[in-house]
Amino acid sequence: MDETARTRQVAAEYVDSLEHRDWPRLTAVLAEDVVYEMPQTRERIRGRSRFLQFNIEYPGDWHLQPRRVVADGRLAALWLDVRVAAERQDACVWLEVSEQGLINRVTDYWPESYDPPAGREHLVERW
Amino acid sequence: MDETARTRQVAAEYVDSLEHRDWPRLTAVLAEDVVYEMPQTRERIRGRSRFLQFNIEYPGDWHLQPRRVVADGRLAALWLDVRVAAERQDACVWLEVSEQGLINRVTDYWPESYDPPAGREHLVERW
């Protein structure tokens, strides 16, 4: 298995272990010094144990389905369909994998819905 | 050049031609039936000529720098640093490339800043 294939597998395992609240499986794909960042809130979590705790404590009955997994060497991007009860949101996740094949950096974006600005109605359709 | 290398090149060319307002170069990497979507506003633009017009008309002195380009077969993900005058925002862009090596689908996310919810201060640092 080449580096990209290994990264793709680790990225899929990351989402699947989160979805199943399988903390030992999640632990197995995280580097001990993993850094998790959410640039929208300027929040950062350092280290595997804190990051695990963050996920264990995360409120709501959340569910994650990968819409797209893009892997390239030791980088991956995940486009997720996230559901919390009747709410749906997309997420964009950027992963970096160490030489040892463990995730050492996770950057999450949680884009919210908003109203489009005026002036481009002649070019767009809405759904 | 394999498919992934071609996709990586097309993705880089897409951003660079936008940054330089080089409309002929942008045209050369877009399929005629390209579909552009912004899920946050539920807006869709169909076709190369409308999508070009959208970019030509887009207001503001915007500038795009790729922070990360992740290519995998005929899929790519772009993490962009976007600046409009003194404002900075990140964007997440998902590309699909046709068999002919032209971009036929672009999905843009524009995540905005927000205040973090209470309850995780014991795990996070802010920046």
Sign of CA dihedral A60, B109, B37, B69: negative
Closest Cα in chain B, distance from residue A103 (Å):
16
Q: Across the interface, which of A109, A115, A120 has its CB nearest the CB of B92?
A: A109
Quote the CA–CA distance of A12 and B116 in Å, as a whole number. Answer: 27
A-chain residues within 8 Å CB-CB of B57? 119-120, 123
SS3 for B55? helix
Other C-beta atoms within 10 Å of A78: how many? 23
Closest alpha carbon within chain B to A121: B43
Q: Which of A8, A10, A36, A41 should we substitute to test contact with B (largest number of B Cβ atoms within 10 Å)?
A: A41
ipTM of the complex: 0.95
pTM of the model: 0.96
pLDDT digits (tens, 9 = 90+) for A58-70: 999 999 999 999 9
Quote the CA–CA distance of A80 and B65 in Å, as a whole number. Answer: 24
Amino acid at A124: V
pLDDT digits (tens, 9 = 90+) for B14-64: 999 999 999 999 999 999 999 999 999 999 999 999 999 999 999 999 999
